[in-house]
């Protein structure tokens, strides 16, 4: 059953464990528009949520996502490049 976001956040945060956190999850970055990603970022910031995504399952997917979002993938796929 669908619950409004604040209800879900309150439920997750009320569980009393550090193991469960509310998370904003754009499932697969290449299928998300820049507007959707920006809106999800606003929600995550407004409600202090973590963000996670399924970037890729192969090197070809890595290259495709890096082509679409080089500003993010540089640090995610090649962390040494951001140190």
Q: Looking at residues 52-68, what average pLDDT do you find? A: 77
Q: Look at residue 51 and tell me if it is in a domain.
A: yes
* Structural domain includes residue 42: yes
| Structural domain includes residue 39 | yes
User: What global pTM score does this model have?
Assistant: 0.67
Return the number of other C-beta atoms located less than 10 Å from residue 67's C-beta: 10
Residue 59 has pLDDT above 60, yes or no: yes
Residue 25: per-residue pLDDT: 85
In a domain, 11, yes or no: no
The verdict on residue 38 lying in a domain is yes
- Integer angstrom CA distances of residue 13 from 2, 10, 41, 60, 81: 18, 5, 19, 37, 35
Domain that includes residue 55, residue range: 23-82
Number of domains in the chain: 1
Q: Judge whether 43 lies within some domain.
A: yes
Residue 2 DSSP code: -
């Amino acid at each position: 059953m669908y619950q409004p976001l604040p209800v879900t956040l309150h439920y997750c945060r009320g569980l009393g464990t550090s193991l469960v956190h509310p998370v904003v999850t754009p499932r697969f970055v290449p299928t998300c528009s820049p507007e959707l990603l920006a809106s999800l970022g606003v929600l995550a910031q407004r409600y202090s949520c973590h963000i996670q995504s399924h970037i890729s399952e192969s090197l070809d997917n890595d290259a495709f996502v890096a082509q679409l979002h080089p500003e993010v993938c540089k640090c995610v796929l090649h962390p040494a490049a951001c140190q």
